[in-house]
Amino acid sequence: MRKINIESTLYSQLIIDDENKLVIKFQPKTNVFLYCISEMRDKLRKWREENYRNSEQIVDVGEELINEHASKLGDDIWIIYEQVMIAALDCSRDDLAWSCLQELKRQFPDSHRVKRLAGMRLEALERYEDANKLYDSILQDDPTNTAARKRKISILRAQGKSSEAIRELNEYLEHYAKAAFCLEELMMTNPHNHLYCEQYAEVKYTQGGLENLELARKYFAQALKLNNRNMRALFGLYMSASHIAASPKVSAKVKKDNVKYAAWATSQISRAYQMAGRGKKENKCSVKAVEEMLESMQITMS
């Protein structure tokens, strides 16, 4: 049979045989599928690095990658399992969270990180006592494991034990000075990494106080200079500038400058949401919600 290629489509080719009959030959193009896999993997990486909490999207993209293309992901599959599991807990998809957890347990049976994920699933099921026991076992092996300590505080909050949660949180926050020092060292070794600048700013913002807030604002701004798409840094700049402007301890000039910084951040946040949701009704609602939130927090010159 003589085959003449007439037209190629994504999944098939139209050809003519010796009798001039049209034949459709299905011929999947591997490079197209690999491109799609790479694109989905890059999306998950971006959301992971920038700490997006878009759990439904992560589940949609991650579940397809895991179910259809796990063998093509190499070592990336393990961090994707973790990312998808946490998103699945947010979306009440215990079936997906459980399957991801089992894969991680098989690969890393003694990992504290995997044990913490198991504890988070127990929390989602409101089995707080079992989760606490798991976190206690992690802290017994590694008293410096801050992730397990934070989960214990989250359990206290979920149980309505606010006073105990505040006490534990204050004790935990004493470690932030050490965290700030470590991030300073990281920034010295890699000054162009916007994520280090953003994380350092978040630590200083959490520590509170006017001096720390001013440092936080500067490093949120530096993170934006290095990557103007860093939305966490943009929100951080808005929040830190707003708090500084609202402080009774600052001069009129400092207040005026920070109102200006907050206003600029507000316009950039609104613009980013408008660009992302262009022509989509649900995203127009999101833009409106963001604008109302920013307006309700507006700092004035009075």
C-alpha to C-alpha distance for 89 and 59, rounded to whole angstroms: 10
Delineate the domains of the chain, giving CATH numbers in brackets. 50-176 (1.25.40.10), 193-296 (no CATH)
C-alpha to C-alpha distance for 126 and 94, rounded to whole angstroms: 12
* The token pair that represents 35 in the structure block: 């491109």
Q: Could you tell me the strand order of the sheet in which 12-16 lies?
A: 4-8, 12-16, 22-26
User: For residue 70, which of 60, 59, 81 has the smallest C-alpha distance?
Assistant: 81
Going by the DSSP 8-state scheme, the letter that residue 105 receives in this structure is H
**CB 89, CB 82: distance < 8 Å:** no
C-alpha to C-alpha distance for 90 and 5, rounded to whole angstroms: 49
User: What string of pLDDT tens digits covers the 302 residues of the chain?
Assistant: 444 443 333 344 444 455 555 444 444 444 444 448 888 888 898 888 877 888 999 999 999 999 988 888 888 999 999 999 999 999 999 999 999 999 999 999 999 999 999 999 999 999 999 999 999 999 999 887 888 988 999 999 999 998 999 888 888 777 788 889 999 999 999 999 999 999 999 999 988 899 999 999 999 999 999 999 999 999 999 999 999 999 999 999 999 999 999 999 999 988 888 877 665 555 555 555 555 555 554 544 43
Q: Which single residue is written with the structure tokens 């006017």?
A: 210
What is the 3 state secondary structure string of 139-204? HHHCCCCHHHHHHHHHHHHHCCCHHHHHHHHHHHHCCHHHHHHHHHHHHHHCCCCHHHHHHHHHHH
* Strands 12-16 and 4-8, bridge-based pairing: antiparallel
Instruction: State in Å, rounded, how far the first CA of the chain is from the last one.
Output: 85
**CB 218, CB 188: distance < 8 Å:** no
Beta strands in the chain (DSSP E): 4-8, 12-16, 22-26
CA 146 to the chain's CA centroid: 18
* The token pair that represents 26 in the structure block: 């299905």
